[in-house]
Structure 1
Amino acid sequence: MLVVDDEPTVRELLSAALRHAGFRVTAAGTGQEALDRAYEVSPDLVLLDIMLPDLDGFEVIRRLRERCQPALTKQGGQIPVVFLTARDETHDKIEGLHLGGDDYVTKPFDLQELIARIRAVLRRTSGDPSAVLRVADIELDPDGTQVTRASEPLRLSPTEFRLLHYLMANAGRTVSKPQILQRVWRYDFNGDTAIVDTYISYLRRKIDNGGPKLIHTVHGVGYVMRGPKT
């Protein structure tokens, strides 16, 4: 991933957070440097500020979209671009999306929400029309509501399926129990997170039975799903 921002502290914060979330990150502080880095490393995604000291972000994405070299394509398409900027006017958002931006996030921002948006963009632009999620030897098909581990089908309840989908969509990132309540149950259960622990236990019996452990507890915070270390 390529992080483009002219503020060193913001660049360092974003780079550290994204690396912690499991991304490989390179950074640039100017528009021209961003183009040079993109041509060199062909990143999976560009996180792009608009207000840069030389070329602004709009000009950067224009040049990225105009260059049709194989090194600047991702599985037959273009490198996804997410704008991250203090410019929050509607016309700026329209311009950014019109030029081919895949999402537009304004500062100040929440790091967890930003990472979730990045993952969503990567899923949409991955070139996999079925949007199948994979972690280690588990595969989840959201359209067919099917789950397999090591090619063996798993029978999950609707709630277990939604919980597994959320964990896999955020693979490598710790999600808190309140976040899980909001996304999986879509209400706060009166703040009682015990239901999350209960369903994690149900999932573990089905998912982690007979294979490497994939669902991990982060004490005092929540849970993270990740493949076995190699």
Structure 2
Amino acid sequence: MIEVYYAEDDETIGKSVKEYLEQQNCKVTVFDRISDVRKALIGHLPTVVLLDWNMPDGQGNELCLWIRERWKYIPIIYLTVRGDSHDIVTGFQNGADDYVVKPFDLAVLYSRILALLRRIEGIDNTKLSCDDLMLDKERTAVYDGKKEIVVSQPEYRILLILMENKGKTITRNQL
């Protein structure tokens, strides 16, 4: 199931996107504040993030940059009224994978989400990262920035489980 976090302060638009995507068997959570999206992302990562540019407590481009600093491969799509070329270019430069100008057709939005997810399926998942920490599964090595950290095999396995399940709660039994 595709899980969507949608940052949208317009209740009508948020509701219509949520209803349509849920009819397509997506799970959608709409947030009307950037701060709420950040809190949710720290706790759990969705399949895709949809961002409005103008929000009551900040700008979607700031949130996009914040997400990209932490999670390189999470798909991000802007849904915004800001349709001039400068804004579109800025959106992509900030890390967006797609940019949709309002008003838009809901079926086209869903098709764009599916197309984006097809493209990222082939991404090499041999390296996992969280902030400055990077785990290389091919070399079974852990790095802090560019410096390799020596860890024991049990420590490596625990770190691997935690990083593969970033944003999820892991029980002691799972470790």
CA-based RMSD: 1.4
Q: Residue in 2 aligned with 1:78?
A: 73
Q: Hey, what's the Cα distance between the residues in 1 that align with 2:116 and 2:32?
A: 23
Secondary structure of the residue aligned to 2:6 is strand
Residue type matched to 1:65 in 2?
R
Query: Unaligned 5+ residue runs, structure 1?
Result: 130-230
Residue type matched to 2:6 in 1?
V
How many residues are matched?
121
Residue type matched to 1:51 in 2?
N
Q: Does 1:88 align with 2:91?
A: no
Residue type matched to 2:108 in 1?
E
Deviations 1:127-183 (A, max 9, x none): 368xxxxxxxxxxxxxxxxxxxxxxxxxxxxxxxxxxxxxxxxxxxxxxxxxxxxxx
Correspondence for 2:116 among 121, 131, 149: 121
> Alpha carbons of 1:60 and 1:128: their partners in 2 closer, same or farther (altered >3 Å)?
closer
Q: Mark the structure with the bigger radius of gyration.
A: 1
Q: Hey, what's the Cα distance between the residues in 1 that align with 2:30 and 2:121?
A: 22
Q: Does 1:42 align with 2:45?
A: yes
Q: Residue in 2 aligned with 1:26?
A: 29
Residue type matched to 1:55 in 2?
G
Secondary structure of the residue aligned to 1:100 is coil
Query: Unaligned 5+ residue runs, structure 2?
Result: 125-175
Q: Hey, what's the Cα distance between the residues in 2 that align with 1:19 and 1:124?
A: 22
TM-score (norm 2): 0.66
Residue type matched to 1:116 in 2?
S
Q: Hey, what's the Cα distance between the residues in 1 that align with 2:10 and 2:107?
A: 20
Q: Hey, what's the Cα distance between the residues in 1 that align with 2:112 and 2:66?
A: 24
Q: Residue in 1 aligned with 2:57?
A: 54
Secondary structure of the residue aligned to 1:62 is helix
Determine what percentage of the aligned residue pairs are the same residue.
36
Q: Residue in 1 aligned with 2:14?
A: 11
Alpha-carbon contact 1:47-1:83 (below 8 Å) kept? yes
TM-score (norm 1): 0.50
Deviation at 1:9, TM superposition (A): 1.2
Alpha-carbon contact 1:48-1:81 (below 8 Å) kept? yes
Secondary structure of the residue aligned to 1:25 is strand
Deviation at 1:11, TM superposition (A): 0.9
